[in-house]
């Protein structure tokens, strides 16, 4: 007997028939003798509708009221799934965030879970009752509803798995696992049977939108074994395995590179002729930080005569206009000669914990791209990742070349 947490996203509970299908999956786990807690999202489309109501009424809305409104979709699905389970003879009850309670730090619309009181859940799970928990929501220290940000139900599930000391946390979604790269672009992409937390974190934050980044951080911190699998492709009980996100120790033979991620949400800014003196970077990025513009990759060229330099960095596409405005206003103060911007770029990254102990990983990337005549504009590296910025039009070509170069192609 194990204790497991299952999480079902919006498309998995998108209509009554699908909710019944979810109930049958839960039933299979219960019949197998497991204690089961289920976390559900709102029906597909519902949260978007509620968000757009809030925006229509009040563009700069009070986040507390926004949370009170947008959290209601999960209240509906948790109650409906409890009913569907009861209907097939499985004891179940729904739980809203405030009923457990799931306590958060109260930062509305992007709250972090601080504590989950599991006393009552523990007791009921042990007695064989399925707990159906509204995802995405908790309460603030002031007793108001606080939501965890888009995709927050993943975080609800992982946090509950940690608090309940669950043996496994299964995230059912509309893809059947984590792939070596985007299978819509690279036909030879393979589903990974296992991936480490660190790699998943890089994949998630780089645009492979399988799991909310925060949920992976939390899984890593609490060593929760997370499994990503499809709610559509499996018959109940007959688990076609998805991808298991686990600790590095659990992966016997680690590949050099596990996956190749990409993000189109990048824009490049270059400041030409910046005075080359100490403190200039802080001088430039200070105003951007004040304007809540997130800066990612940064490259500063060495100047030849030691008086001026060029500075290139990336921001998200949606922040580009704001960043330009801030930099133009501060031009005189910053003392650069000219600014160029380019929104038609993509960041491609090779990811793998194996590269910590192997040299030449970056070199293989540069060679593979050079061979296809793809110019690298910016490079940045971390312990388990090498990222390059290239022109957006080369995205597909680069992904396929790298997938082959690192030996990831399916047989």
* Ordered DSSP codes for 27-95: HHHHHTT-EEEEEE-PPTTHHHHHHHHHHHH-TT--HHHHHHHHTHHHHHHHHHHHHHHHHTT--EEEE
| Range 127-166, binding its own copies (CB under 8 A) | 143-145
The yes or no reply on residue 65 touching its own copies (CB under 8 A) is yes
Contacts of residue 23, Cβ cutoff 8 Å, sequence gap at least 6: 81, 84, 85, 87, 88, 90
Interface residue with its own copies, options 86, 300, 301, 316 (CB under 8 A): 86
Among residues 3, 24, 93, 191, the one that binds its own copies under rule CB under 8 A: 93
Which residue matches tokens 């949370």?
Answer: 67
54 binds its own copies (CB under 8 A): yes
d(C-alpha 408, C-alpha 50), whole Å: 42
Q: Which stretch binds its own copies (CB under 8 A): 29-37, 62-70, 122-130, 225-233?
A: 62-70
Exactly one of 3, 24, 61, 190 binds its own copies (CB under 8 A); that residue is 61
Q: Toward its own copies, which CB reaches closer, 142 or 357?
A: 142
Q: Which of 387, 382, 346 is nearest to 366 (CA)?
A: 387
Pick one of 37, 80, 175, 384: the residue that binds its own copies (CB under 8 A): 80
Q: Does 20 bind its own copies (CB under 8 A)?
A: yes
Site residue total, its own copies (CB under 8 A): 37
- Bridge-based pairing state of the strands 226-230 and 243-246: antiparallel
66 binds its own copies (CB under 8 A): yes
Q: Measured between alpha carbons, how far is 402 from 409 in angstroms, rounded to an integer?
A: 10
Instruction: Please identify, using beta-carbon distances, which residue of 50 and 272 lies nearer to its own copies.
Output: 50
Q: Are 159 and 113 in contact (CB under 8 A)?
A: yes
Q: How far apart, in whole angstroms, are the C-alpha atoms of residue 326 and residue 383? A: 32
- Residue number with CB closer to its own copies (11 or 381): 11
- Options 11, 44, 51, 79; binder of its own copies; rule CB under 8 A: 79
For its own copies, give the closer residue by CB, 87 or 333.
87
Residue 24 engages its own copies in binding (rule: CB under 8 A): no
Check binding of 62 to its own copies (CB under 8 A): yes
Of the residues 34, 96, 108, 403, which one makes contact with its own copies according to CB under 8 A: 96
Q: How far is the CB of 273 from its own copies (least distance, A)?
A: 46
Q: Is the peptide bond before 101 cis (omega within 30 degrees of 0)?
A: yes
Please identify, using beta-carbon distances, which residue of 48 and 380 lies nearer to its own copies: 48
Q: Which of 31, 32, 45, 58 binds its own copies (CB under 8 A)?
A: 58
**Interaction between residue 84 and its own copies (CB under 8 A):** yes
In angstroms, what is the minimal distance from the CB of 83 to its own copies?
A: 4
Residue 278: how many other CB atoms lie within 10 Å: 7
What is the spatial distance between Cα 53 and Cα 45, in angstroms, rounded to a whole number?
13
Q: How far is the CB of 13 from its own copies (least distance, A)?
A: 11
* CB of 40 vs its own copies, minimal distance in Å: 12
From 1, 56, 184, 359, residue interacting with its own copies (rule: CB under 8 A):
56
Q: Which stretch binds its own copies (CB under 8 A): 3-11, 32-40, 46-54, 176-184?
A: 46-54
Site of tokens 């608090």: 163
Report the candidate in 333, 340, 337, 332 with the shortest Cα–Cα distance to residue 313.
340
Distance CA 322, CA 24 (A): 49
Tokens of 211: 């799991």
Q: CB within 8 A of 351, min separation 6: which ones?
A: 199, 202, 203, 206, 257, 258, 259, 260, 261, 384, 385
Q: Binding residues for its own copies, per CB under 8 A?
A: 16, 19-20, 50, 53-54, 56-58, 61-62, 64-66, 68-69, 71-73, 75-76, 78-80, 82-84, 86-87, 93-94, 96, 98-99, 143-145
């Amino acid at each position: 007997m194990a204790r497991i947490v299952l999480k079902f996203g919006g498309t998995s509970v998108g209509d009554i028939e699908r909710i019944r299908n979810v109930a049958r999956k839960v039933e299979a786990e219960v019949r197998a003798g497991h204690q089961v807690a289920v976390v559900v999202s709102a029906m597909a489309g519902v949260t978007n509708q509620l968000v757009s109501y809030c925006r229509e009424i009040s563009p700069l809305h009070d986040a507390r009221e926004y949370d009170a409104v947008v959290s209601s979709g999960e209240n509906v699905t948790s109650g409906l799934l409890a009913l569907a389970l009861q209907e097939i003879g499985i004891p179940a009850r729904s739980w809203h965030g405030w009923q457990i309670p799931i306590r958060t730090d109260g930062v509305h619309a992007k709250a972090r879970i601080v504590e989950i009181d599991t006393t009552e859940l523990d007791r009921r799970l042990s007695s064989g009752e399925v707990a159906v928990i509204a995802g995405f929501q908790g309460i603030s220290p002031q007793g108001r509803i606080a939501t965890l940000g888009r995709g927050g139900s993943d975080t609800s599930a992982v946090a509950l798995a940690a608090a309940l000391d669950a043996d496994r946390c299964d995230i059912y979604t509309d893809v059947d696992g984590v792939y070596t790269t985007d299978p819509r672009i690279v036909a030879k992409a393979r589903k990974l049977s296992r991936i480490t937390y660190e790699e998943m974190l890089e994949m998630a934050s780089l645009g492979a939108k399988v799991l909310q980044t925060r949920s992976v951080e939390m899984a890593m911190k609490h060593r929760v074994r997370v499994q990503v699998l499809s709610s559509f492709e499996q018959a109940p009980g007959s688990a076609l395995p998805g991808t298991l996100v686990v600790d590095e120790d659990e992966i016997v033979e680690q590949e050099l590179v596990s996956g190749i991620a990409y993000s189109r949400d990048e824009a490049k800014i270059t400041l030409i002729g910046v005075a080359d003196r100490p403190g200039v970077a802080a001088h430039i990025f200070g105003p951007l930080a004040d304007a809540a513009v997130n800066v990612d990759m940064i490259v500063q060229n060495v100047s030849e005569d030691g008086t001026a330099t060029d500075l290139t960095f990336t921001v998200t596409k949606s922040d580009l206009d704001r960043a330009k405005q801030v930099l133009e206003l501060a031009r005189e103060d910053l003392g650069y000669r000219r600014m160029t911007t380019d929104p038609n770029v993509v960041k491609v990254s090779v990811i793998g914990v194996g590269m910590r102990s192997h040299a030449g990983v970056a070199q293989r990337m540069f060679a593979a791209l050079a061979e296809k005549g793809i110019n690298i504009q910016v490079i940045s590296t971390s312990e388990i990742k090498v990222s390059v910025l290239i022109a957006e039009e080369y995205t597909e070509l680069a992904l396929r070349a790298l997938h082959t170069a690192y030996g990831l192609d399916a047989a």
